[in-house]
Amino acid sequence: MAKEQQLTDDELHFLGIKVVYKAMIDEGYEVLQVRKEYDINPQILAKKDGIRYFIVVRTARYPDMGVLKPEVAARVLKHAKKNKATCLFAPVGIANANGENDEEMKYPIRNGEYYINFKGFLPFPK
């Protein structure tokens, strides 16, 4: 498997954002803004039933799931409080669907096929 074909960390993160974006549209959210940069939090600003949401997306390679670091959660919660928003965390895991073993599944390939592990939104820790 050629290294140049593997998704970069930025590409992996953006793929996770696209997964979450589609789930939000499917669930009736109005997506107001999307930021693909990993270090800009939250990545997605949305609204549903009159409630504003800040969504932080984290994506990881198989077998892991994205992790919300406490310092990121604290900063986003502070920002959300000022904006009267509810915070949600969207952990995503992505695997190379053509991998023949666990090691190969860790490396999603650019323009490849993927197994997506996204089970929905989690509330922020208090």
Q: pLDDT value at position 2?
A: 47
Q: Strand, coil or helix: what is 18?
A: helix
Q: pLDDT value at position 124?
A: 87
- Which CATH number applies to 3-123? 3.40.1350.10
8 A C-beta contact, residue 41 and residue 69: no
Confidence class for position 1, pLDDT limits 50, 70, 90:
very low
What are the pLDDT digits (tens) for 98-120? 999 999 999 999 999 999 999 99
Largest CA distance in the chain: 48
**Distance of alpha carbon 63 from alpha carbon 7, whole angstroms:** 16
Q: Which of 24, 63, 22, 56 is nearest to 39 (CA)?
A: 56
What are the pLDDT digits (tens) for 19-71? 999 999 999 999 999 999 999 999 999 999 999 999 999 999 999 999 999 99
Confidence class for position 125, pLDDT limits 50, 70, 90:
confident
Strand partners, 56: 89
**pLDDT of residue 73 exceeding 60:** yes
8 A C-beta contact, residue 54 and residue 31: no
Confidence class for position 126, pLDDT limits 50, 70, 90:
low
Sequence-separated (6 or more) residues with CB below 8 Å from residue 2: none
Domain boundaries, the chain: 3-123
